[in-house]
């Protein structure tokens, strides 16, 4: 029995999918993106259901499993089910069904119901954060920031509040920070002085901000140690990053919640300060 068929963990499978993504055909890339974004659906659904959700024929799902070294969909599905057995997937289906039911009612259109939905989504995102972020990743990120002369922060569009908050906290802690926001010029000009002696924290979620996707590989190529906070291993700010924090959003959220990334960057900043004492 080879690695893919019997001993591969869920995290190893995710890494294998991300690594092979570019070499896959367009249809198999579509499936790769779906299974990474909806692992619970893959774990619990039939091949026909997964195919319908991902917008491909069932035969394509089987070809995808074969491309990863599995004998078929069922063998691949066992790896996704192992994730549920390990307890690393929040049971969001019932919560999502309740939200949809509330939306259809008169009460669901009231401000209090809207608040309840956002609170529920924020709670779910924090559960996911606590289960998906490991101490070794936080330690590695802290070590990168501790060695940095200047810390560059790249988070544009919807990610800008997270980058701004991290800049605020780091400056309060006496760190040298460059917030790449394009004020007075371009972000390329602002990042011109970044070197291997500095560090970059990049933050981007779908739909990935174009300037972030363009600048990130330039700084990686320049040798700047990078930490990425994103929502998928297929994100444009993953390849080349020293540390990747993957924060997946709830399916069909009312609006992407920033509670989890805010919590993460606070932990990184305070952890950096505590490590320096």
Domain CATH for 227: 3.40.50.10490
Express as a percent the part of the chain with pLDDT over 70.
86
Same domain, 235 and 160: yes
> What integer is the mean pLDDT of 97-120?
68
Around Cβ 124, how many Cβ atoms within 10 Å? 21
Contact 203/141 with Cβ under 8 angstroms?
Answer: no
177 φ, ψ (degrees, to nearest 5): -125, 140
Residues 20, 122, single domain; the answer is no
pLDDT tier for residue 93 given thresholds of 50, 70 and 90? low
Please check whether residues 120 and 148 belong to one and the same domain: no
Which CATH number does the domain housing residue 10 bear? 1.10.10.10
pTM for the predicted model, two decimal places: 0.78
Mean residue pLDDT across the chain = 87
Confidence of residue 109 (pLDDT cuts 50, 70, 90): low
Tell whether 234 and 101 lie within a shared domain.
Answer: no
Q: What digits encode the pLDDT tens for the residues 128-183?
A: 899 889 999 999 999 999 999 999 999 999 999 999 999 999 999 999 999 999 88
Q: What number of other Cβ atoms are within 10 A of residue 277's Cβ?
A: 4
Q: Which of 31, 20, 272, 8 is nearest to 146 (CA)?
A: 272
Same domain, 268 and 238: yes
| pLDDT the model gives residue 1 | 37
* Count of structural domains within the chain: 3
> Domain limits at 149?
135-276
More confident residue, 5 or 217: 217
Sign, CA dihedral 139-144-148-150, equals negative
Neighbours of 255 (CB within 10 A): 10
Share of the chain above pLDDT 90, in %: 65
Single out the residue in 75, 105, 130 at which a domain terminates.
130
> Looking at the structure, do residues 124 and 151 belong to the same domain, yes or no?
no
Q: In degrees to the nearest 10, what's the CA dihedral of 50, 54, 57, 62?
A: -60
For 15, 105, 128, 266, the CA distances from 33, given in Å and listed in that order, are 12, 33, 19, 29
């Amino acid at each position: 029995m080879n690695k893919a068929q019997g001993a591969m963990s869920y995290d190893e499978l995710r890494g294998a999918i991300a690594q092979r993504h570019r070499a896959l055909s367009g249809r198999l890339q579509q499936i790769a993106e779906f299974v990474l974004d909806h692992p619970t659906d893959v774990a619990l659904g039939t091949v026909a259901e997964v195919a319908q959700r991902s917008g491909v024929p069932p035969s394509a799902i089987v070809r995808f499993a074969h491309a990863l070294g599995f004998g078929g969909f069922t063998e691949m599905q066992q790896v996704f089910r192992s994730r549920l057995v390990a307890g690393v997937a929040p049971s969001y289906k019932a919560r999502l069904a309740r939200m949809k039911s509330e939306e259809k009612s008169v009460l669901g259109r009231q401000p209090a119901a809207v608040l309840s939905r956002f609170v529920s989504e924020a709670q779910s995102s924090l559960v996911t954060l606590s289960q998906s972020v490991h101490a070794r990743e936080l330690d590695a990120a802290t070590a990168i920031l501790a060695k940095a002369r200047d810390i560059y922060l790249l988070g544009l569009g919807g990610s800008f509040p997270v980058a701004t908050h991290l800049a605020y906290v780091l400056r309060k802690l006496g760190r040298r920070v460059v917030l790449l926001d394009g004020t007075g010029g371009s972000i390329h000009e602002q990042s011109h002085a970044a070197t291997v002696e500095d560090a970059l924290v990049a933050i981007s979620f779908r739909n990935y901000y174009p300037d972030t996707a363009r600048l990130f590989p330039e700084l990686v190529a320049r040798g700047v140690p990078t930490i990425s906070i994103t929502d998928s291993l297929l994100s444009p700010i993953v390849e080349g990053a020293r540390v990747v924090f993957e924060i997946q959003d709830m399916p069909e959220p009312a609006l992407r919640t920033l509670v989890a990334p805010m919590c993460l960057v606070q932990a990184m900043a305070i952890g950096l300060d505590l490590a320096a004492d």
